[in-house]
Amino acid sequence: MGNQQVICGRYLEDTPELPGETRPLRSALIPPGGELLKDFKGMTTVEQIFTKNVADSPDFLFLGSRIPQLNEAGDVVYGEYQWKSLREVQEQTLALARYLIGKGLCPKLKFEEYENEFRTIGIYSKNREEWVISDFACMQTAITSVALYDTLGSDSMEFILNQCRIKTVICEADKVKNLINLKRDGKVPHLTDIIYFTDFKPYPLDSSPSYGLTLTSFPDVIAQGISTFPDTPLDPVTADTYFTFSYTSGTTGLPKGVMITHGNYACNIAANGMYDPDYYPNNTDATDVYLSYLPLAHVMERYLLLVSMAYKIQFGLYSGDILKLRDDLAVLRPTVFASVPRLYNRFYDGIKHQLSLLEGGKKKLVDWAIAAKLDNLHKKGKVTHFLYDSIVFNKFKEILGGRVRMMCSGSAPMSTEVLAFLQIAFCANIVQGYGQTECCAPASASWICDPIGGSVGPPYPTNDFKLIDVPEMGYTSKDLTAEGVPMPRGEICYRGYNSFKGYFRQLEQTRETIDTDGWVHTGDIGQFLPNGTLRIIDRRKNIFKLSQGEYISPDKIENKITQSIYIAQVFVYGDSLQSYLVAIIIPDKPVIEKWASAKGISGASYQEILQNPETKAFIFDQVKSVGKDSGLFGFEIPQKIHIVADMQTVENGLLTPTMKLKRNEAKIHYLSLIKEMYEGEKLFGEE
């Protein structure tokens, strides 16, 4: 713990060292000479894992939802969680599976790119009970489910439905109109059937033409599956059966369908169990509870769903409104919480802002408590304190319901400062992971015995890592620290049993990503640390050059600038014909309003506060000072900024559902402001 370095990963010394790359790095959880993990206690499909768990623990209360009710005003409110047992979930999934096969709603399809046939179906909804039942139904009969983000635009929806030739979509009632419109316009010729979820407060399905679509309610389908198709045979499932085509949310271009098999998921589920001695100390008899609010259409949340099923963790679904998440947390009181760095940074900023308002004796007490807990974290790896938790930190735990003891973070690196502070504030360890859709979510995860941060852990026990040189960015496998210690850097590649099989019907993109030796090239830049862990340091795919030839990584710069409590979001842009960067800055509204009030800056609106010259100067000073303090080079600090009030969101198309910036869309959205900052100078690509 603490200062004692734990060896988490080892190089495969019996593998030849090739020029321009490191030897493969393997998890220390795999004994020397051992093989990568490929199955879950001998089971190679998710269907086998589910069926065995139902047989072993049929009454385990697995799937929970809050029950809507009408209050006196006639508004929908949500009550306590009600739970379905594993047996009840299985009964409904089998009924749905038999209905889909019996009615011919998922026929076998032949695509010219492949020898084998596929059954496909779309699931188009926010997280809810029926989503899980639909996905599990597909899992039990070799139907490949295609999860469609509920925020998906019509162009992407059309592309996915046609590429997969989807005949049937299961969806929320308020999504039916979107599908009918696509059918009306002749854009989705293969779509013939919609199975829609009914709601407590029904969404009006008007009597307008459905253009040849058959609409059936989800309860009717379950009832017919039980009464009409009880003996319909289901297709056998193998490790090579495609569990899902998981379409990447896409920060650039059209989405790609990542082909993930049962075997891919089964081994990654098994890998999670190898961490149990570290992740669940002294809690072997406890039932963990997880709150699901990140999109189930994303591979990470789906992985957490399957892990919950496999290890009997109660899986509670949020009520569907992200603005009411605090209420869901208070009612469910989860023990495990997962999120992305953007939200964790918001927690950090909010708590730090509250603490900054303290004065006198209270401030001294809190400062002592923070210092003591940070010291304990660094020396002993402890996130709790016998005295200070009850006096100071338990109120912060209540933000997440009061019982969270383990937190997970993925999609982007967290700063070590934020990581350390949130662990002591919430009295819970944070596990940082790294991965992609292409490896069923995690390719690495940090260990609880290494809580200080700075890495995303060693490789998962299902895959190896290697780094390959990126000379144009100055990263090589032979890099050394200032003290002469080997610290290789380069593009992260992984290979293992969790690696995807390709992009559906996109063979060229597949060949660009998976090389002839089976290594998946991520486009991320990493660094191997002496204890066998991985640090994410850059991004290869988003880099660009300024006119003087300097390479720029906007992700790195944006992560640095948003360390300011006054800045919520930033978009950094540089044109290859220009010598400097510009940036769009979105301030943190409550923090800026409080700063403005203290400075005597007033305005009829928030927009007027932002346009005040003193506000502009202050925010620009924040950009420059934070950039300098965090070690950015002068050419990496934006020389001009434009301040806007509107946040980047999923709804306005600037963020993916996992809160990653859509860089191309952001450029288009802010183009007029970019041109203004470059003072009308010619930009690359313009005539």
Q: How many separate helices (H) and strands (E) can be counted in the chain? A: 22, 28
Residue type for position 136 = F
> 587 and 486, same structural domain?
no
Give a yes or no: residue 573 inside a domain.
yes
CA angle 80, 84, 85 (to 5 degrees): 135
501 phi and psi angles, rounded to 5 deg: -95, -15
Q: Determine the pLDDT at residue 278.
A: 46
Amino acid at 322: I
Q: Is the pLDDT assigned to residue 247 strictly greater than 60? A: yes
Question: Does residue 230 share a domain with residue 360?
Answer: no
The H or E element that residue 320 is part of is none
Statement: residue 195 has pLDDT above 80: yes
Last residue of a domain, one of 539, 563, 593: 539
Tokens of 563: 């360390």
Same domain, 512 and 606: no
Q: Which residues pair with 640 in a beta bridge?
A: 582
What band does 507 get if pLDDT is binned at 50, 70 and 90? very high
Residue 558 or residue 602, greater confidence: 558
277-to-38, 43, 96, 211 alpha-carbon distances in Å: 20, 22, 38, 56
User: Helix or strand or coil: residue 538?
Assistant: strand
In-domain check, residue 654: yes
Radius of gyration of the CA atoms of the chain, in A? 26
- The secondary structure of residue 647, as a DSSP letter, is P
H/E element, 581:
strand 581-587
pLDDT band at 683 (very low <50, low <70, confident <90, very high): very low
Residue 687 has pLDDT above 60, yes or no: no
Burial class (CB in 10 A: 0-12, 13-18, 19+), 12: middle
Read off the pLDDT of each residue in 368-374 and give the average, rounded to a whole number.
96
* pLDDT for residue 1: 46
522 and 408 in a common domain: yes
pLDDT > 70 fraction of the chain, expressed in percent and rounded: 94
What average pLDDT does range 7-23 have in this prediction? 94
Cα–Cα distances (Å) from 188 to 163, 248, 257, 560, 582, in that order, read 10, 20, 17, 44, 42
Do 382 and 438 lie in one domain? The reply is yes
The answer to whether 344 and 420 have CB atoms below 8 angstroms apart is no
Note whether residue 200 is domain-resident.
Answer: yes
Q: Which CATH number fits the domain that encloses residue 667? A: 3.30.300.30
Q: For residue 72, is it within any domain?
A: yes
Q: What is the pLDDT of residue 365?
A: 95
- pLDDT confidence band for 283 (50 / 70 / 90): very low
Residues 95 and 125 in one domain: yes
Same structural domain, 84 and 122: yes
The partner residues of 383 in beta bridges, in order of sequence, read none
Q: Final residue of a domain: which of 218, 245, 266?
A: 266
Amino acid at site 482: A
Q: Does 654 lie in the same domain as 589?
A: yes
Query: Residues, the chain, total?
Result: 687
Region 262-279: what's the mean pLDDT?
Answer: 83
Q: What CATH number has the domain bearing residue 157?
A: 3.40.50.12780
How distant is the alpha carbon of residue 584 from its chain centre? 24
198 and 64 in one domain? Answer: yes
Element (H, E) at 135: helix 129-139
Measured distance CA(270)–CA(136) in Å, rounded: 18
Checking if the pLDDT of 682 tops 50, the result is: no
- Residue 662: the pLDDT is 86
- Listed in sequence order, the residues at least 6 apart from 181 whose beta carbon sits closer than 8 Å to its beta carbon are 154
User: Mean pLDDT over all residues of the chain?
Assistant: 90
Asked if residue 628 is part of any domain, the answer here is yes
Total structural domains within the chain:
3
Would you say residue 124 lies in a domain?
Answer: yes
Same domain for 592 and 474? no
Q: Does residue 173 lie within any of the structural domains?
A: yes
- Same domain for 261 and 391? no
If DSSP codes are grouped into helix, strand and coil, which group holds residue 501? Answer: coil
Q: What does the pLDDT look like over 431-462, one tens digit per residue?
A: 999 999 999 999 999 988 776 677 899 999 99
* Single residue among 266, 289, 322 that ends a domain in this structure: 266
Question: Are the beta carbons of 327 and 78 closer than 8 angstroms?
Answer: yes
pLDDT digits (tens, 9 = 90+) for 17-40: 999 999 999 999 999 999 999 999
Cα-Cα end-to-end distance for the chain: 60
Q: Do 256 and 400 belong to one domain?
A: no
Cβ distance 125 to 172 under 8 Å? Answer: yes
Between 670 and 280, name the one with better pLDDT. Answer: 670
Q: What is the pLDDT of residue 451?
A: 62
With H, G, I as helix, E, B as strand and everything else as coil, classify residue 658: coil
674 within 8 A of 582, measured Cβ to Cβ: yes
CATH code of residue 465: 2.30.38.10
Per-residue pLDDT reduced to its tens digit, 202-234: 677 766 678 999 999 999 999 999 999 999 999
Would you say residue 211 lies in a domain? yes
In this model, does residue 652 exceed pLDDT 70?
A: yes
Place of tokens 């199955």: 39
CA atoms within 13 A on the CB side of 621: 6
Domain that holds residue 60: 46-266
Could you read off the pLDDT of 41-95 as tens digits, one per residue?
999 999 999 999 999 999 999 999 998 888 888 888 899 999 999 999 999 999 9
- Split at pLDDT 50, 70, 90, the class of 680 is low
Q: What is the pLDDT of residues 139-186, one digit of tens each?
A: 999 999 999 988 788 888 999 999 999 999 999 999 999 999 999 999
Nearest to 100 by CA among 7, 222, 1: 222
Share of the chain above pLDDT 90, in %: 71
Residue 685 has pLDDT above 80, yes or no: no
Total Cβ atoms within 10 A of residue 226: 16
* CA–CA gap between residue 243 and residue 259 (Å, rounded): 8
